[in-house]
Amino acid sequence: MSKATVLVRLKSEVLDPQGDAVKRALDKLGFDGVRGVRIGKLIEIDLGDAPVADPAALKERLAKMADEMLANPVIEDFEIVV
C-alpha cells in the first residue's frame, strides 16, 4: 500500500489559540519546561496498491491537492512526505 502524508502547519505569524490552551493545560498538569505548543494537521492519504511510477509527478499532484483542498494557503503551510 503506498501512502503519502501531508503535514499542515499554521504559519508562524498566525496565532494558535488551541495550541496556547494546550500549553496552559500542560502547565496546570505539572509539565513544566514547555515554552509553546502549535497544533497542525496530519493528513494521511492511501494511494492504493499501484506502484508509484513517477515520484516527482506524485509529489506535484499532492502539492496541488494540499494547495486546493487540504490546507488554507492564507494561514497555513504544508509539507509533503511520500
In whole angstroms, what is the distance from residue 27 CA to residue 12 CA?
22
* Nearer residue to a second copy within complex by CB, 13 or 46: 46
* Nearer residue to a second copy within complex by CB, 68 or 74: 68
Residue from the set 14, 31, 57, 75 that interacts with a second copy by CB under 8 A: 31
In whole angstroms, what is the distance from residue 41 CA to residue 26 CA?
20
Q: Does 82 bind a second copy (CB under 8 A)?
A: no
User: Are 75 and 16 a contacting pair, CB within 8 Å?
Assistant: no
Q: Does 13 bind a second copy (CB under 8 A)?
A: no
In whole angstroms, what is the distance from residue 78 CA to residue 62 CA?
10
Which residues bind to a second copy, rule: CB under 8 A?
7-9, 19, 22, 25-26, 29, 31, 33-48, 50, 61, 64-65, 68-70
